[in-house]
A and B are shown apart, each in its own frame.
Chain A
Amino acid sequence: MMEIRTPKTHKAKRVLEKRAPKLVENGKKTLILHGTKTSATLSAVLMELYRLKKGGAIKYSRRNENIRPFESGGETSLEFFSLKTDCSIFAYGSHTKKRPDNLVLGRMYDHHVYDLIEVGIENFKSLLSFSYDKKIAPHEGSKPFICFTGEGFENVPELKQLKEVLTDLFRGEVVDNLNLTGLDRAYICSAISPTKVFLTHCAIKLKKSGTIVPRIELVEVGPSMDLVIRRNRLPNEGLRKEAMKSSKDKPKKKVKNVDQNDVLGKRGRIYIPEQEVGKNPLPDKSKGVKRERREGKLKKNKEEGSASKKLKGSE
């Protein structure tokens, strides 16, 4: 017996349609939560990350004891929250003696954990500690510039993964049209060592230059921190291939020389190169010629055979 459950209100129906899998997806939402214990720096980091991503983030304030992202059974709670809030990226903070100021950034595919990267936070400077002219403060929800510097991002696999995760985290919505006056923030990530990344958030000042392109000046406004790579988990190869699939990968190959006809069915055209009749010599298949060749071959074999015998005899 099957039971069909349909939403009873239009609003519910719209919510379900928004969360359904689509060809062109919505921007990823971030889920921010923390574990059993957090330090002052870590709670500040989580709060500021939430403020930076205000439009597309959900912050949970209660502590979650049974979430352990790197253990096999400890991700069920995360997957449940991801399903309920429709969030595909999460930032889980915890503070233990072994891993102080620990932040796990993870992504979900179909509400199951896709990949994880664990970073430790050092030298954290809160956005309240930066003093700047309030006019240039970036607006909420504006599309940011993201800059990566350092050869580490290309050579070290963990940093490569971190680059991808940070791009996904800060990217926001993918838009077709962009208002040039609304560009006011930039995230700068620099790989200062193979295990450390310096992350800072700056506001953009556009200054007049001679050309159409204004001169850019960056002023540090937001939180800045050092991310130290700890553990990571790369996605399954099969899962990665599936997640990277997009509908525009292989455009449908146009089949040439085939057409459909309602009356005659499927018809194809075959092109044959021009037959030059009279130019190529015809093979001589007359009987007499055949026999001669055969006899000729026999003679040759006899000679060869006797030659080899001679050789053998001489030995």
Chain B
Amino acid sequence: MDTEMDQIYQIDVGNLLAFNPNHRFPSAPSSREELVKECVTEGTKLVQAIADTLFNFPSTETVDGPLVQLPPPTTKLPREKHLPMPKPPTKWEEFALKKGIQKRKKDKIVYDETTDQFKRRHGYDRVNDDNDIPIIEAKASDEPGEDPFAKRLDDKKKRVGKQEKNRLQNLKTAAKAGALPSHVQLAVTALPISGTKTQPQKIGKDALGDVAGLAATSTASGGKFDKKLPGEKPPKKQGKHHKYLPVVPRYGVVDEEKEQTNKVLGKLLSKHSHEILNVGKAINMYNDKKEKKKSGRSDKLKAKKDITKKKPYANKAN
């Protein structure tokens, strides 16, 4: 804070930022050059104020010049990405915590008893290599026909598979908590609804567009009032799909509309029409309709017509 008369600058040394809130620029426009000059002089004062505090910091001399430790900035600016979530402990870490198992650093070079040499722990020519064992002694619990070498290979495969499964599980729990490690991306390749284990084919952009269009226009209003996502393009074929036959028959071509109606009639009046048309049902439907029209309707709102009452005699003379 630098006090000069009544001017107090707000200085943020961490950002090399200075703000003078008290200067008033003349509202009457003086010439451009004078305005520029005024701005630069005000700026010089502010930079001088920051430099005063900056050069008074304890500095260490280096090859390039005096190095100064900057304080952290005081103006709060928004972050560019969200805060990272703390990683949930893996199953092994939980177990180790519970049991009190400490991590021990392993050496890269280990002493091999069989060859009396120092060998590396992992990699080429390693200690305790599975493939190097020439003889496996038979135990009392071994079955006669079993191959112990194959068994060892099998066991190793199982162990590797189990570890891979556990690793995936740990990543899934981390993804659930939103704390996936930055270099891993977990992608869902299949919907869990489908029962098949085969991977679904990758659908192309055009096919997806067609399907989306179909879905949109299959609503009663033809997809007119559907809420659209930002950036979504309108469906290719908008509105309802109607197929209209030409009204005027083209030269040489049979009248399509006539053909259509004739086809239907033909089917109904043909010898085998009883297979298409359920005559009994049709008759029943017709009769029901007729009866409903004639006899008393069950309209409770409408006053029931009293048939016993006679109409007033209309004078024929009038």
Chain A to chain B contacts (Cβ below 8 Å), 21 pairs: A4-B168, A5-B184, A12-B183, A147-B18, A148-B18, A148-B19, A149-B42, A153-B21, A171-B15, A174-B73, A178-B54, A180-B66, A181-B64, A181-B65, A190-B39, A191-B25, A192-B25, A193-B25, A198-B35, A200-B36, A218-B43
Does B20 sit at the interface, judged by CB under 8 A? yes
Q: Does B263 contact A (CB under 8 A)?
A: no
Cβ–Cβ contact A200 & B39, under 8 A: yes
A217, chain B: closest CB distance, angstroms: 7
Residues on B with C-beta less than 8 A from A13 are 183
**A212 close to B24 (CB less than 8 A):** no
The verdict on A1 contacting B18 (CB below 8 Å), with A182-B65, A200-B36, A215-B48 known, is no
Smallest Cβ distance from A133 to chain B, in angstroms?
Answer: 16
Stretch at the interface among B135-143, B186-194, B219-227: B186-194
A-to-B contact residues, CB < 8 Å = 1-7, 12-13, 16-17, 19-23, 25, 28, 72-73, 76, 88, 107-110, 114, 123, 143-151, 153-154, 163-164, 167-168, 171, 174-183, 186, 188, 190-193, 198, 200, 202, 204, 212-218, 220, 224, 235, 240, 242-247
Report if A148-B182 is in contact (Cβ < 8 Å); known contacts: A23-B83, A188-B40.
Answer: no
Given contacts A188-B40, A190-B25, A213-B56, contact A243 B78 (CB under 8 A): yes
Contact A167 B230 (CB under 8 A): no
Q: A21 and B82: CB pair below 8 A? A: yes
Are A147 and B84 CB-contacts (below 8 A) given A180-B54, A181-B64, A213-B56? no
Evaluate contact between A88 and B80: CB separation under 8 angstroms: yes
Binding site for A on B (CB under 8 A): 14-25, 27, 32, 35-36, 38-40, 42-44, 46-48, 50-52, 54-56, 59, 62, 64-70, 72-73, 75-84, 168, 171-172, 182-190, 199, 230-231
Partner of A178, one of B22, B25, B48, B67: B67
Contact status A147-B78, CB under 8 Å: no
List 20 other contacts, CB 8 Å, given A109-B82, A145-B50, A175-B70.
Answer: A1-B188, A5-B185, A13-B183, A22-B81, A109-B78, A147-B17, A148-B20, A153-B19, A167-B15, A171-B15, A176-B69, A176-B70, A213-B52, A213-B56, A216-B44, A216-B51, A217-B44, A218-B44, A220-B40, A240-B78
Q: Once bound together, how far apart are the Cα atoms of A17 and B230, in whole Å?
A: 31
Q: A2 contacts B187, CB within 8 Å? A: yes
Q: In whole angstroms, how far apart are the Cα atoms of A88 and B165 in the complex?
A: 37
Is B56 touching A23 in the complex (CB atoms < 8 A)? Answer: no
B176 to chain A, nearest CB (A): 12
How far is A149 from B239 in the complex, measured between Cα atoms in Å? Answer: 59
Contact in complex: B230, A76 (CB < 8 Å): yes
Alpha-carbon separation in the docked complex, A147 to B51 (Å):
12
- A192 touching B35 by the CB < 8 A rule? yes
**Chain A neighbourhood of B168, CB < 8 A:** 2, 4
Across-interface contacts of A149 in B (CB, < 8 A): 19-20, 23, 25, 39, 42-43, 46
The residue from A3, A148, A177 contacting B187, defined by CB atoms under 8 A apart: A3
